[in-house]
Homo-oligomer: A and B are copies of this chain.
Amino acid sequence: MMDPFAAAPRRVTICEVGPRDGLQNEPQAIAVDDKVQFCDLLSAAGVPMLEAGSFVSPAAVPQMADAEQVFARIERFAGCRYLALCPNERGLDRALAAGVEAIGVFTAASDAFARANIRMSIDESLAVIGRVIRRAKEHGLWVRASVSTAFGCPFSGAVPLEAVVRVCARLLDAGADQLSVADTIGVGTPNQVVDIVGALEALVPAGALALHFHDTRGTALANALTGLALGVRTFDSAAGGLGGCPFAPGATGNGATEDLVYALHGMGIETGIDLTKLRTASRFIAAKLGHAPISRAYTALEAAGPCVTVPGAI
């Protein structure tokens, strides 16, 4: 019997996307003070990478309109990289003015999704991203590039592996320091992780590949751990499983950081994250959002009570 995790790293980096990808998809508006405190609680929990906000158009994404104030006020912890999402050069200008040191750019593996999400074809967006990365590098910024809908598109269905590889290659050529390959709508299954990571193996240096899963159909953790088995070292997730799914109202959003950390720590894999402090951050933002976190691990750990059992508990 072969241990499927024989090649797994002993330490992984979690990119916490709750304050951005999470809150952006929550209907409830959050005050700047609360966003700042949420970020600070996440930093205090030991998160090593934090997507703290997005410099997108305030008209398009009102939840992120206060990104300047968030970046001006969050505490910077040593050992944590604070990411600002920048869709274009205007966003980069705002990020530079806000003094950020790391940015995120994004496009899609599906042209239909790119056109719906950013009103550009993939190639048009790559031209924009090329200019953003060039200028970001002139300012010494670290750049992460996200590829959405790599596991499936809500508009065009299956996404060819070649399309994922092509976009990743273009983003690396443009100078991205890290790629985050995303299952935007949470349709992916572990065989796709094997296919995608395998196809990118020759292209992307070890350590420069991240995976980003949504738990819409319950596969986020299984997909992440498949990536882990294949040697992937960086995973995106959101505290409490924040964020909904705009394509399936009522469905769940990002994979939950608590579920990922619980599983990784159980497997003896270090994350640097304190699960108790992470729960404090999730509890804090849940009170502001007015609903309980959907993370299974969060729920179980918060609810743990005295033991009772009836015959036939299997």
Q: Residues of A at under 8 Å CB distance from B?
A: 1-7, 17, 20-21, 24-25, 54, 56-57, 60-61, 64, 85, 87, 106, 113, 116-118, 146, 148, 154-155, 180, 182, 184, 186-192, 194, 197-198, 201, 212, 215-219, 221-222, 225-226, 229-231, 245-252, 256, 258-259, 262-263, 266-268, 295-297, 299-301, 303-305, 307-314
Contact = CB atoms under 8 A, between A and B. Distances in A.
Contact of A299 (B57, B146, B251): B251
A175 to B, nearest CB: 19
A166 B282 CA distance: 41
Contacts of A266: 187-192, 219
A303 B248 contact: yes
User: Secondary structure of the A side of the interface?
Assistant: loop
A27 to B, nearest CB: 12
A225 B17 CA distance: 26
Nearest to A20: B312
Contacts of A247: 304-305, 307-309
A307 B246 CA distance: 7
Contacts of A304: 247-248
A222 B308 contact: no
Nearest to A217: B297
Contacts of A215: 296
